Homo-oligomer: A and B are copies of this chain.
């Protein structure tokens, strides 16, 4: 293959000039960057490449937070429950939390901001019934044997990212503090500091904001353990200053209990209250203004603005229509799989899209005896599969190059990835691949705001993976979808309730998730207008695919409110006296054609049973239904109990989509028969791209865009080949 160059950002590092010169050719690097903890020498800056310089403004300057302890980021914490037994009950507020990270906020009046709550009744305790002194709240009057908690405010005295690096990567530098940018004087200070920073970085071509204003939710307990974690959580943007402003803007006051929702930290997997949605909007407005001011300064300095979608991204939601106003030039996302790629490639903005691949060159992975190639190749197989459908512009890595340089095989392996990425972009023209005429809509509470986000349900909690890496176990339809030749969108329940004709934007709707979650939807399924709208749409020809606990809310003798469409329902112990319907088993159904050899699923016990005699049972363990298909009037429904990502399950979902869209006859258009392989067609470039997703040799039959057999193809492990479309 002709050696190519470009589209690659290298993490440079002072002292690594020799290897960098080598990699510029070997990887075809055309831009260099610094990382958290690395600096670029003048030698590197003089090489003449575009330079990405990283800054997280809220933690860039350390004098302000040290001098203005009241301007730190804050958070509401909740004490553990304690039982009132007739005697005064003492809550040592900081007892259970990392005192390295948090300091009690005693500046703002506890009686105004804190709440003591009777968790047995849910009622707020009157302020007269408790006192505060010396780090302790004392409940003086309570109800015997009720449990109580205190919601209280803390200052964050150690930036979450700095703390993470200290704990995970053994960084020993000073504990970085971040500031809360909300107050006008802090805001002004940060802008002023940024002006100076821009002046001090004349060689910088791209300012890589990492990220903006507010950290996602990541709370550490007394053992420094990350005990609460929500990458999309808005609970660490809280300060009394922001809450006061919120009251002015929105006309009502939020309480601690809005962030600790009935005893639970409010997070992405729980359907949000309307108050939380107001709060999110409020924070978004602020983050957009903050971001726009920075971008304007960057542009004024003749540089480009990049946002690394990472730590402090709360409020800056690339899928929020408001986001475009910020004027960002480049969006960079960390990517370990196809979902992460689609999260960047599908952002509805006119920007340059760049992926930062894993593993990060950090000591937790690059230690003696490790095999970073394995992780990298596994990631690349998933990323490449999704890339075939929706490309990005650039790729890159981050961290300490000096660490990665000790693994020469890894360096060569990345040269292979960079060459392959460029070859793909050159041959296909970097255009979106052809898709079948099927528009799939993923339906949940969040809609497009949380495009390409994954939830895996309770199983996630019981999985012991690497805390810092999103390893998805359990049902992962997003990853399955990421590489399918269909159009994928996201839609919320509210959008349907406001305008049911929005359903007509889609041929197939997928509702997936655990009962009660924001993804499945929870009690919104008791809304007659919602159920009737979807049912009408199905009767008129729509396809509805339910995975896990679709349309689940106990109401009028049903758990799945669309059991009539799905054919099945969930047994929760309330109908064990009532037998299941007698249905036909159809193990040779179209949907299963590539899954005969068995498929992965989470458990043999789905507790889902057939409700309708005309539901076809495609896969089951005894009476536990795993896949069902039902034709309802004009439309079709499919139920799947769980769908972990693998090549077979992805193909199964593809077949379920085609079947429910009544497009079985188009299934072989632009098709590769072996599920371990994928084929994509680029009409304007006149080329098919076929990939082998596995580490083994594969053979496959490929079909052209008319659905005609083209030929049999043999692919080396991990191979990508192009076939001209004559």
A461 with B556, Cβ < 8 A, contacts A528-B121, A579-B226 known: no
Binds B, one of A33-41, A324-332, A530-538, A668-676: A530-538
Interface size class of A (residues with CB under 8 A): 35 or more
B558 touches A263 (CB 8 A): yes
B573 touches A517 (CB 8 A): yes
What are the residues of chain B within 8 A of A624 when measuring CB–CB?
462
Interface assignment of A555: CB less than 8 Å from any CB of chain B? yes
In the assembled complex, the CB of A54 is this many whole angstroms from the nearest CB of chain B, namely 27
Interface assignment of A590: CB less than 8 Å from any CB of chain B? no
Q: Annotate A85-121 by CB proximity to B: 1 below 8 A, 0 otherwise.
A: 1000000000000000000000000000000000111
A575 touches B461 (CB 8 A): yes
B573 touches A528 (CB 8 A): no
What are the residues of chain B within 8 A of A263 when measuring CB–CB?
556-558
A533 touches B574 (CB 8 A): no
What are the residues of chain B within 8 A of A528 when measuring CB–CB?
120-121, 143, 146
Q: How far is the CA of A624 from the CA of B460 in the complex (A)?
A: 12
B516 touches A573 (CB 8 A): yes
Residue of B nearest to A632 (CB): B83
Which residue of A267, A456, A516, A575 has the most chain B CB atoms within 10 A of its CB atom? Answer: A575
Residue of B nearest to A578 (CB): B228
What are the residues of chain B within 8 A of A134 when measuring CB–CB?
none
A574 touches B269 (CB 8 A): yes
What are the residues of chain B within 8 A of A633 when measuring CB–CB?
85
What are the residues of chain B within 8 A of A455 when measuring CB–CB?
576
What are the residues of chain B within 8 A of A607 when measuring CB–CB?
458, 462
Q: Annotate A275-301 by CB proximity to B: 1 below 8 A, 0 otherwise.
A: 000000000000000000000000000
Interface assignment of A539: CB less than 8 Å from any CB of chain B? yes
Q: How far is the CA of A462 from the CA of B578 in the complex (A)?
A: 11
Please classify the interface of chain A as helix (H, G, I), strand (E, B), loop, or mixed, using the class held by over half of its residues: loop
Interface assignment of A623: CB less than 8 Å from any CB of chain B? yes
A622 touches B462 (CB 8 A): yes
Interface assignment of A185: CB less than 8 Å from any CB of chain B? no
A536 with B144, Cβ < 8 A, contacts A557-B262, A571-B461, A573-B517 known: yes
Q: How far is the CA of A62 from the CA of B73 in the complex (A)?
A: 84
In the assembled complex, the CB of A584 is this many whole angstroms from the nearest CB of chain B, namely 14
In the assembled complex, the CB of A294 is this many whole angstroms from the nearest CB of chain B, namely 29
Identical subunits present: 2
Q: How far is the CA of A120 from the CA of B551 in the complex (A)?
A: 13
In the assembled complex, the CB of A465 is this many whole angstroms from the nearest CB of chain B, namely 11
Q: How far is the CA of A507 from the CA of B535 in the complex (A)?
A: 54
A574 touches B516 (CB 8 A): yes
Interface assignment of A227: CB less than 8 Å from any CB of chain B? yes
Q: Annotate A563-593 by CB proximity to B: 1 below 8 A, 0 otherwise.
A: 0100000011111111110100000000000
In the assembled complex, the CB of A625 is this many whole angstroms from the nearest CB of chain B, namely 10
B462 touches A623 (CB 8 A): yes
In the assembled complex, the CB of A659 is this many whole angstroms from the nearest CB of chain B, namely 22
Q: How far is the CA of A516 from the CA of B531 in the complex (A)?
A: 24
A264 touches B557 (CB 8 A): yes
Name A576's contact: one of B146, B225, B227, B269 (CB within 8 Å): B269
What are the residues of chain B within 8 A of A458 when measuring CB–CB?
571-573, 576, 607
What are the residues of chain B within 8 A of A513 when measuring CB–CB?
573
Interface assignment of A411: CB less than 8 Å from any CB of chain B? no
Residue of B nearest to A226 (CB): B579
In the assembled complex, the CB of A477 is this many whole angstroms from the nearest CB of chain B, namely 16
B121 touches A564 (CB 8 A): no
Interface assignment of A609: CB less than 8 Å from any CB of chain B? yes
Q: Annotate A510-552 by CB proximity to B: 1 below 8 A, 0 otherwise.
A: 0001111100000000001001110110010000000000000
19 pairs, A vs B, C-beta closer than 8 Å: A81-B564, A83-B535, A122-B556, A145-B535, A145-B539, A227-B578, A263-B557, A263-B558, A264-B557, A264-B575, A269-B577, A455-B576, A458-B576, A461-B575, A461-B578, A461-B623, A462-B624, A464-B622, A517-B574
Apart from A144-B532, A458-B573, what are 16 other A-B pairs with CB-CB below 8 Å?
A83-B539, A119-B556, A120-B556, A143-B532, A145-B533, A146-B532, A229-B579, A262-B555, A268-B577, A455-B576, A456-B576, A457-B576, A463-B623, A514-B572, A515-B572, A516-B573
